């Protein structure tokens, strides 16, 4: 199934955080409850419609790795795969 978000919406495939540090310390599930989430952009909308009728270009592109707040996105499952739908403005940063 092909997903095409509308307007300034972004579809993200979530990336699980490691639960074991590089030193081998296992972090409990509660340690990361309020941390921002990570994911990879898999589809973007056309952009935000400005007051003058033009579209503001999106600041992320397909393939970007991004961080966003845990409770910002809506969750969906398509063909057994979990995805997140989030507004572009709720993305905090691009990981380079």
Residue 20 clears pLDDT 70, i.e. is over it: no
Q: Which residues contact 23 (CB under 8 A, 6 or more apart)?
A: none
**59: domain range?**
40-96
Q: What is the pTM of this model?
A: 0.78
Report the distance separating Cα 41 and Cα 46, nearest Å.
14
Report the distance separating Cα 81 and Cα 30, nearest Å.
24
Tell me the CATH number at 57.
Answer: 2.30.33.40
28, part of any domain: no
To which H or E segment does residue 81 belong?
A: strand 81-87
**pLDDT averaged over the chain?**
86
As for how many domains the chain has, the answer is 1
32, part of any domain: no
Residue 16 clears pLDDT 90, i.e. is over it: no
Report the distance separating Cα 65 and Cα 60, nearest Å.
9
Q: What is the pLDDT of residues 30-67, one digit of tens each?
A: 555 556 689 999 999 999 999 999 999 999 999 999 99
Q: Which residues on adjacent β-strands are paired with residue 44?
A: 10
Which pLDDT value is given to residue 23? 74
Rounded alpha-carbon distances, angstroms, from residue 64 to 25, 73, 88: 29, 17, 12
């Amino acid at each position: 199934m092909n997903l095409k978000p509308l307007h300034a919406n972004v579809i993200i495939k979530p990336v699980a955080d490691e639960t074991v540090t590089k030193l081998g310390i296992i972090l409990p599930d509660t340690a990361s409850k309020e941390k921002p989430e990570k994911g990879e952009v898999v589809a973007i909308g056309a952009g935000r419609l400005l007051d003058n009728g033009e579209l503001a270009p999106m600041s992320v592109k397909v393939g970007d790795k991004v961080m966003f707040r845990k409770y910002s996105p809506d969750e969906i499952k398509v063909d057994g795969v979990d995805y997140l739908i989030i507004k572009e403005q709720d993305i905090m940063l691009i990981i380079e």
